[in-house]
Amino acid sequence: MNEIPGETVQEQTFYDQVGGEETFRRLVRRFYEGVAADPLLRPMYPEEDLGPAEERLALFLMQYWGGPRTYSDHRGHPRLRMRHAPFTVDRAAHDAWLHHMRDAVDSLGLAPEHESELWRYLTYAAASMVNSAD
């Protein structure tokens, strides 16, 4: 980041550092390709069309990492654990979700420090979403 004397230096968000909207869209597109073909996860998604779910996850992640707050403008406070309560998120669902997310993260070709920060968050968030014992 260039420092120009007399101007405020704005910290770049993680969102900006990894390439902004395009990167998060690529991540979530790839993830949902995996979900669409997954015999455990696919039936959990209530809508026939996975497009709206893809949009919600993309907007949520963009907001979380410092991008536009469009997710909350449309959906309000995330309350993700509550929103997952209608679904059985057990160990198997958790593992399948992370499996497709790992593939999606790998497809981005991020710098190692960005990749590990993103992955740390995703694994932590996935563990916190588990709501059913095996």
Q: What residues make contact with ligand HEM under the rule CB under 6 A? A: 41, 44-45, 53, 56-57, 60, 75, 80, 83-84, 87, 89, 93-94, 97, 125-126, 129
Looking at the Cβ atoms of 10 and 91, the one nearer to ligand HEM is: 91
Nearer of residues 9 and 121 to ligand HEM, judged by Cβ: 121
18 contacts: CB under 8 Å, gap ≥ 6:
65, 108, 110, 114, 118
Please check whether residue 4 is in contact with residue 10, taking contact to mean a CB–CB distance below 8 angstroms: no
DSSP state of 40: T
> In the complex, what is the shortest distance from the CB of residue 129 to ligand HEM, in angstroms, rounded to a whole number?
4
**Nearest-CA neighbor of 26 among 72, 62, 1, 2?**
62
Contact 28, 54 (CB under 8 A): yes
CB-nearer residue toward ligand HEM: 53 or 108? 53
CA dihedral for 42, 45, 46, 51, sign (positive or negative):
negative
Which is nearer to ligand HEM, 7 or 48 (by Cβ)?
48
User: In this structure, which amino acid lies at residue 9?
Assistant: V
